[in-house]
Structure 1
Amino acid sequence: MTENAKDVKTEEAAKPEVNPLQRSLTLKVNNAELEAGVAAELKRLGKKAKLPGFRPGHVPAAKVAEMYGYEARMRVMNNLLDAAYRKAAEESGLRIAGFPEIAPAEGSKPGDAELVFTAKVEVYPEFDLPDLSGLELKRYSCDVTDAEVAKTLDIMAKQRATYTTEEGRAAQKDDRVTVNFKGMKDGVAFEGGSADNYKFIVGAGMMLPEFDQAVEGMKAGDKKSFNLTFPANYQAKDLAGKEVTFDVECVAVEKANIPAIDDEFAKKLGMDGVDAMKAEVRKNLEREVKVRVSNRTRGEVMNKLQELCTFRVPSVMIQEESERMAQAMMNDFMARGMLSKKDRNRQLPASLFTEQAAKRVALSMFVGKLIDENKITASEDDVKRIVKNVAEAYEEPAEMEKYILSNPQTAQNYHNLALEERVVDFVLGKAKTTDEKLGFDDLMKNPGSL
């Protein structure tokens, strides 16, 4: 490569990226109008001006100008620029996103009869909706059988178990054990891998399966060491897929006394009998399954639509969404009590959310255009159906339904959800779909952790 070619490459790399969504508007402010406005503003401020040695409102004009001149000029200038921008934006016919960046135009200087400014703005992208018939999607379903009802009742009974200490008892499934343990990786204790007097239920998924298996059969006073390999997708990245050694001492073993699933058990839960309890459990499971199936389907549809968002979106909107997401996460941390008092006024860097924010903004634009061009709507009955399904999980469904629908903001949120459902239905109707029945456990499972 020649030196000239190198220079060209370096020059090209140094050029700033051209934003295809950026536009410029020319704003003009009449200097005479500005000066007249400043004079009027100073006169207004002078009526309230106070200065030692002068009565309120009788401060000399020169002193008022000295005290408030900059403030008055900035206020009037901002008002005139705002009016000029609104006029230029309207005349341009552009679909402007966010707020402008306004600066004096090159060559314009104070004292000119007409002051010229340049407003840099970003516009909404122009894009065509693609043909959705090529998308491949699934329509999910999941059955709630007697087995799922029985398994849920078994969990409910175990949650209400009592425990008694039995001398010399060997730990088995459903027993509550108390252990001291220490985890070592390459001979060094790792963070979060040690605890004293730690209680857990054997086989309840509170620990990794290998840990459960190692503790089964131990009696109070027993000690043992065993190796364990963490799953490849373990949340602690430094432990994922790694083999460690645990030293465990069993402190106590308590036998589980699990109540029988009968009428007496049902009545303790406020139900008429075991049959009524089974019916209520089935109803709740069916409602939960319906929500999860819907969420899974919606998530896959939206992911497919996201892949079609190949257009650029305004950086100003990405920034706004990033800041909103950062604030939402801080609010969530506060609600969970995860922040100390000194950290509550801190802000997460919006840059942490830039990539996700860009995807959200693009998908929102895509879905918005899909709704507009295809006249997709959600009816009042759609909203009521969703609200009714949510309200059924409460003790007073009718009251909860009434409360949700009477709150404008909450009702709007459910309208948006209903509209999103209609979008999903529309996309599924256009795409190539296959039916897939999900297993109950696959739909409901939550990964356990150590």
Structure 2
Amino acid sequence: MTEQNEQVVETVEAAQEENPLQRTLELKILAADLNNAVENRLTKLAKNARMPGFRKGHVPMKHVRGMYGMQAYDESLNELVGQAWAKAAQESGLRIAGTPRIDARPAADNEDTLVFVATFEVFPDVELPDFAAMELKRYTCTVTDENVEKTIDVMRKQRAVYNVAEGRAAADEDRVKLNFKGTKNGEAFNGGTAEGYVFVLGQGRMLPEFEEAVRGMKAGEKKTFPLTFPADYGIQDLNGAEVEFEVEVLEVAEPSYPAIDDEFAAGLGVEGGVEKMKAEIRANLEREIAARIEAQTKGGVMEAVSKTLTFRVPAEVLNNECEALAEQAMRDLAARGMDVSKFPKPSGLVFKDQAERRIRLSLFVEKLVDEKGITVADEDVRKIAEGIAASYEQPEEVVNYLMNDANRRNNIAGQALETKVTEWILANAKTEDVAVEFDDVMANKF
């Protein structure tokens, strides 16, 4: 094919100023190439063409052209335009985002050539921020013997046996059964009445003022007391509302806790006694703490980076990400047992800010990894896989499965890359190591 009939890039130009990512490419198709493509396609169609009075494949070409001419023209033109676009896009060297809009340009004096214009967006140039100016935090937490003992105590209390105690004044850790009725301005309010309601004092299931009023009461006793709901209670009619409760205690039960011994350990599925149980609980706590600490540290780093990224994102990429987030929201509702057919799919615009943030961070990570040569080795992937597998009975089998399943391995490799990127940023920023208390980590209060 000569230079004249090659489908080449004629222009690469920035389009409107309001969209600095928009570009155009001019595509040319020789009319002779289009005619040849149409004839070739008609010849193929003729082999299976049928018409009354003619055998299959023997319909005269003028009739075949009448039956399939437009179809052959459209299909041939689409194919040639697609080829021209693919070649032009490759030769342009642009990082093209999404699919182009291709429009025919009005015919010029030269009818031997058909001209089209492809309009599209490119990915933005990403400039890395000044990491040395960033002030970041790397969180740390150490699991102590006290934390292990406290966790065991929680597990012990979860296995309490309650015995009804006649004449016992309700105290923390007692199980209380009662009737109550709440009124606002003399009228019962929704959700404020229950009979035979059971809860354990001191666990925080009820409002502090409610529990304080019940402490010290015995079975058969009644009490009326005022209560003010928190301003942020979450129910509009009750936020900050002053109400009154009538309470009647039906039963007070005293807890009896199991001893911490080998039998207790066996009940948790641990063979090897109390010390083995403590070791396993410590290991589980350390994994949980490490995961929470890492997630919080990563989140802080990415939030700081995100604030420095203001570049425009391609519209089609943004729309696709918004739709993906909307679909994920529906899947999350379904996973919670909700009938999503009763809910309208949320508009992708609801997720615009979140989508922009995710795209910018993704492009940032891509740029950083490429420019700084950040890589993930097999041992990095295996380390994460071993952490996941540690809580299973046959961890090595789980590791082998995770390492050999392509999808799961890729997901783990993605996690490893996030970790490597986070570590690189922390090493190049003003990073402060912050020790966090165990209870604050478990309560996500840091």
Shorter-chain TM range is 0.7 to 0.9
Is the alpha carbon distance of 1:265 and 1:108 closer, same or farther for their aligned partners in structure 2, counting shifts above 3 Å? same
Determine the structure 1 residue equivalent to 2:36.
Answer: 36
Specify the SS of the correspondent of 1:425. Answer: helix
- Please give the residue correspondences for 1:270-309 in structure 2 after superposition, counting only pairs within 5 Å: 270-271=269-270, 272-309=272-309
Determine the structure 1 residue equivalent to 2:243.
Answer: 245
- Please give the residue correspondences for 1:27-426 in structure 2 after superposition, counting only pairs within 5 Å: 27-49=27-49, 56-57=56-57, 64=64, 68-105=68-105, 107-108=106-107, 112-181=111-180, 195-220=194-219, 222=222, 224-230=224-230, 232=232, 234=233, 236=234, 238=236, 242-245=240-243, 247=245, 249=247, 250-271=249-270, 272-340=272-340, 342-343=341-342, 347-426=345-424
Measure how far apart 1:402 and its partner are.
1.3
Measure how far apart 1:127 and its partner are.
3.3
Measure how far apart 1:174 and its partner are.
2.4
Range that drifts further, 118-127 or 68-77: 68-77
Counting matched residue pairs gives: 427
Q: Deviations over 1:171-205 (max 9, x none)?
A: 33223334455556677766655555443332223
User: Does the CA-based 8 Å contact 1:214-1:226 persist in structure 2?
Assistant: no
User: Does the CA-based 8 Å contact 1:139-1:297 persist in structure 2?
Assistant: yes
Q: Distance in 2 between matches of 1:412 and 1:55?
A: 56
Specify the SS of the correspondent of 2:216. Answer: coil
User: Does the CA-based 8 Å contact 1:164-1:256 persist in structure 2?
Assistant: yes
User: TM-score, structure 1 length as denominator?
Assistant: 0.84
Q: Deviations over 1:399-421 (max 9, x none)?
A: 11111111111111111211211
Is the alpha carbon distance of 1:28 and 1:153 closer, same or farther for their aligned partners in structure 2, counting shifts above 3 Å? same
User: Does the CA-based 8 Å contact 1:230-1:239 persist in structure 2?
Assistant: no
Q: Distance in 1 between matches of 2:303 and 2:380?
A: 24
Specify the SS of the correspondent of 2:98. Answer: strand
Is the alpha carbon distance of 1:429 and 1:173 closer, same or farther for their aligned partners in structure 2, counting shifts above 3 Å? same
Determine the structure 1 residue equivalent to 2:4.
Answer: none
Is the alpha carbon distance of 1:181 and 1:108 closer, same or farther for their aligned partners in structure 2, counting shifts above 3 Å? farther
AA in 1 matched with 2:430: K
Is the alpha carbon distance of 1:162 and 1:103 closer, same or farther for their aligned partners in structure 2, counting shifts above 3 Å? farther
Q: Distance in 2 between matches of 1:189 and 1:45?
A: 79
Q: Deviations over 1:79-115 (max 9, x none)?
A: 111111112212222111111122223x249x94322
Range that drifts further, 402-411 or 36-45: 36-45
Is the alpha carbon distance of 1:259 and 1:361 closer, same or farther for their aligned partners in structure 2, counting shifts above 3 Å? same
Q: Distance in 1 between matches of 2:119 and 2:334?
A: 38
Is the alpha carbon distance of 1:252 and 1:417 closer, same or farther for their aligned partners in structure 2, counting shifts above 3 Å? same
Specify the SS of the correspondent of 2:226. Answer: strand
Is the alpha carbon distance of 1:400 and 1:214 closer, same or farther for their aligned partners in structure 2, counting shifts above 3 Å? farther
User: Does the CA-based 8 Å contact 1:184-1:244 persist in structure 2?
Assistant: no
AA in 2 matched with 1:104: A
User: Does the CA-based 8 Å contact 2:180-2:246 persist in structure 1?
Assistant: yes
Q: Distance in 1 between matches of 2:67 and 2:21?
A: 43
Q: Deviations over 1:49-83 (max 9, x none)?
A: 45677655456656655655544333222211111
Gaps of 5+ in 1: 1-15
Determine the structure 1 residue equivalent to 2:6.
Answer: none
AA in 2 matched with 1:116: V
Q: Distance in 2 between matches of 1:196 and 1:57?
A: 85
Q: Distance in 2 between matches of 1:209 and 1:60?
A: 92
Specify the SS of the correspondent of 1:128. Answer: coil
- Using the aligned pairs only, state the percent identity: 45
Q: Deviations over 1:143-189 (max 9, x none)?
A: 21222112111111122223333445443322333445555667776
User: Does the CA-based 8 Å contact 2:173-2:202 persist in structure 1?
Assistant: yes
Q: Distance in 2 between matches of 1:55 and 1:446?
A: 79
Q: Deviations over 1:277-315 (max 9, x none)?
A: 222211211121111111111111111111111221212
Is the alpha carbon distance of 1:355 and 1:17 closer, same or farther for their aligned partners in structure 2, counting shifts above 3 Å? farther
Gaps of 5+ in 2: 1-15
User: Does the CA-based 8 Å contact 1:181-1:246 persist in structure 2?
Assistant: no
Is the alpha carbon distance of 1:430 and 1:178 closer, same or farther for their aligned partners in structure 2, counting shifts above 3 Å? same
Is the alpha carbon distance of 1:19 and 1:181 closer, same or farther for their aligned partners in structure 2, counting shifts above 3 Å? farther
Cα root mean square deviation, aligned: 3.1
User: Does the CA-based 8 Å contact 2:298-2:419 persist in structure 1?
Assistant: yes
Is the alpha carbon distance of 1:57 and 1:158 closer, same or farther for their aligned partners in structure 2, counting shifts above 3 Å? farther
AA in 2 matched with 1:80: L
User: Does the CA-based 8 Å contact 1:97-1:317 persist in structure 2?
Assistant: yes
Q: Distance in 2 between matches of 1:426 and 1:253?
A: 57
Specify the SS of the correspondent of 2:245. Answer: strand
Specify the SS of the correspondent of 1:138. Answer: strand
Measure how far apart 1:206 and its partner are.
3.0
Q: Distance in 2 between matches of 1:136 and 1:278?
A: 38
Measure how far apart 1:24 and its partner are.
1.0
Specify the SS of the correspondent of 1:362. Answer: helix
User: TM-score, structure 2 length as denominator?
Assistant: 0.85
User: Does the CA-based 8 Å contact 1:175-1:255 persist in structure 2?
Assistant: yes
